[in-house]
Amino acid sequence: MSEKIVKEEREYSGKLLTLLKYRVLINGVEAVREVVEHPGAVAIIPIKDDGRIILVKQYRLPVGENLIEVPAGTLEKGESEEECARRELLEETGYEAGVLKKVRSLYLAPGYSTEKITIFIARKLSRGFQKLESDENIEVLELGLEEALKMVKEGIIKDAKTIISIYDLVEELKHKE
């Protein structure tokens, strides 16, 4: 299955995202597809030696809420996923990872976005200093894994990448036992 692209138009190009409009043929019928082009991102679930995890709380304008999330960020031009994960972890939390393990890559909204996010587990953490960008306001949280799982089940943690990352960590820890 595929769709034949008849025409591509760049509707908008910003600092982070580009909006493309495609005219496509599917089963002989012309349709329009709007696509958000994204450079890709990483998400990191840091676990301390004592088993507590590090999450962040920040306001997200598109949903109008403060969300609890794993540290995450967008790939910069020429940056590897691991480099991005290390940079974002330090910037957002002040922690550096001695060990960083890539778990999986996934698409969060493939119906309209090219964004691929890669999830990492960070271990052997050492404390440094948070290096927030000028437009970031982030609170660092330390939670027990059971507490985080309860927050997922109760709908307090709503962010998809965070929920997947927490469950990935649970699976990782099962295999370590």
Provide block-wise average pLDDT over 10 residues at a time, the chain (177 residues). 93 95 95 97 98 97 97 97 98 97 97 98 94 85 98 98 98 86
List, for residues 60-69, the tens digit of each pLDDT value. 999 999 999 9
CA–CA separation, 102 vs 89, rounded Å? 14
Sheet holding 18-26: strands in order across? 4-13, 18-26, 29-37
CA distance to 4, 55, 76, per residue, from 23 (Å): 9, 41, 30
Check residue 71 and give its pLDDT. 98
CA distance to 23, 43, 149, per residue, from 117 (Å): 27, 7, 21
Check residue 2 and give its pLDDT. 86
Check residue 135 and give its pLDDT. 82
Check residue 45 and give its pLDDT. 99
List, for residues 152-176, the tens digit of each pLDDT value. 999 999 999 999 999 999 999 998 7
Domains and CATH numbers, the chain: 4-37 (no CATH), 41-176 (3.90.79.10)
Which two three-digit tokens encode residue 141?
Answer: 């949280």
Q: Report helix, strand or coil for 174.
A: helix
Burial of 129 per CB tally in 10 Å (0-12, 13-18, 19+): exposed
Which two three-digit tokens encode residue 71?
Answer: 């540290």
Cα-trace Rg, the chain: 18
CA distance to 48, 92, 151, 157, 171, per residue, from 165 (Å): 15, 17, 14, 12, 10
CA distance to 56, 143, 155, per residue, from 150 (Å): 17, 11, 9
Check residue 177 and give its pLDDT. 61
Q: Report helix, strand or coil for 156.
A: coil
